């Protein structure tokens, strides 16, 4: 079946521009997570969605970062006024949220490069 | 807050050698433990997980991991590695919870197998 789909796969943009990253989770998965993979930083949690609500935004690094989810499905991560330190691979994961220990299924990520 | 330490940053082995990758975590409560693998050019995939029961868990491709609660460890092992095991390996933990199961990852171990 289809896995988690992310677009674009690569994005190069100039410092100061806004970017939107998209995640299409596995159909029926109610929980959706965004992570960031930076060189030397490993994978860091950004935000968690349960349905359309985001009960945990604690990982968003600044108010330039925001995310939304509509229809309990597609999610968009928006970075405003991008900075060079935003360069990273942004990963989306989804899972059933019906019990503890459910593994998260990851997309291929969006590689974001800020010039 | 949880944290995960992977002490081996880069491991180089010859084919047929035995493998053990270290993972230690810190968290005061009940946790679920995971090993994910990222093959070159591919997305993160679940290798194995522990959430209760037998502390020795077996995963795909001949990998296993042992949860030692007293040592806060979840080391990954394989008795005989293959060239195709070349990849990056991530240990991860989340709080055993119904709902927000955001993962905290280690910084990863790059494994290179020499034919």
Q: Model confidence over A85-110: pLDDT tens digits? A: 999 999 999 998 766 677 899 999 99
pLDDT number for residue B99: 72
For residue A100, the model assigns a pLDDT of: 66
Which residue is it, tokens 């029961």?
Answer: B53
Q: How many CB pairs under 8 A join A and B?
A: 71
Give residues with Cβ within 8 angstroms of A93, minimum separation 6.
Answer: A4, A32, A33, A35, A104, A105, A106, A107, B44, B103
Q: Could you tell me if B56 lies within 8 Å of chain A, comparing CB atoms?
A: no
Contact of B51 with chain A, judged by CB distance below 8 Å, is answered with yes
For residue B51, what pLDDT is reported? 87
The answer to which of A102-106, B63-67, B93-97 has the lowest mean pLDDT is B93-97
* pLDDT for the residue numbered A42: 80
- DSSP state, residue A101: T
Predicted confidence (pLDDT) at residue A1 exceeds the cutoff of 60 = no
- Residue-level pLDDT at A102: 78
Give the closest of A45, A101, A109 to B102, CB-based. A45
Mean pLDDT of B35-40: 95
CB contact under 8 A, B105 and A42: yes
Residues 17-76 of A with CB under 8 A from B: 31, 33, 35, 40-45, 48, 50, 55-56, 59
| pLDDT over threshold 60, residue B93 | yes
B100 touching A, CB under 8 A?
Answer: yes
Q: Which residues of B touch A55 (CB under 8 A)?
A: 99-100
**pLDDT score of A98:** 62
* Cα nearest neighbour of B106 on chain A: A42
pLDDT in tens, A32-84: 999 999 987 789 999 999 999 998 999 999 999 999 999 889 999 999 999 99
Report the gap between the CA of A20 and the closest CA in chain B (Å).
20
3-state secondary structure chain B: CCEEECCCCEEEEECCCCEEECCEEECCCCEEEEEEEECCCCCCEEEEEECCCCCEEECHHHCEEEEEHHHCEEEEEECCCCHHHCEEEEEEEEECCCCCCCCEECCCEEEEEEC
Structure confidence at residue A106 (pLDDT): 95
Give the distance from residue A58's alpha carbon to the nearest chain B alpha carbon, in angstroms. Answer: 11
């Amino acid at each position: 079946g289809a896995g988690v789909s992310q677009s674009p796969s690569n994005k190069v943009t100039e410092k100061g521009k806004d970017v939107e990253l998209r995640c299409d989770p596995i159909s029926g998965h109610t929980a959706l997570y965004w992570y960031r993979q930076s060189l030397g930083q490993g994978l860091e949690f950004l935000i968690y969605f349960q349905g359309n609500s985001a009960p945990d935004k604690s990982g968003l690094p600044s108010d330039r970062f925001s995310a939304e989810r509509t229809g309990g499905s597609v999610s968009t991560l928006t970075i405003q006024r991008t900075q060079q330190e935003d360069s990273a691979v942004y990963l989306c994961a989804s899972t059933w949220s019906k019990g503890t220990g459910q593994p998260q299924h990851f997309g291929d990520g969006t590689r974001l490069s800020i010039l | 807050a949880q944290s995960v330490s992977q002490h081996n940053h880069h491991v180089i082995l010859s084919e047929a050698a035995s493998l053990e990758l270290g993972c230690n975590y810190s968290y005061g409560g009940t946790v679920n433990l995971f090993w994910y693998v990222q093959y070159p050019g591919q997305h993160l995939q679940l290798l194995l997980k522990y959430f209760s029961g037998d502390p020795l868990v077996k995963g795909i491709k001949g990998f296993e991991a042992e949860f030692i609660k007293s040592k806060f460890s979840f080391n990954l092992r394989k008795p005989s590695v293959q060239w195709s095991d070349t990849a990056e390996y991530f240990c991860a933990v989340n709080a055993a919870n119904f709902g927000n199961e955001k993962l905290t990852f280690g910084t990863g171990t790059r494994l290179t197998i020499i034919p």
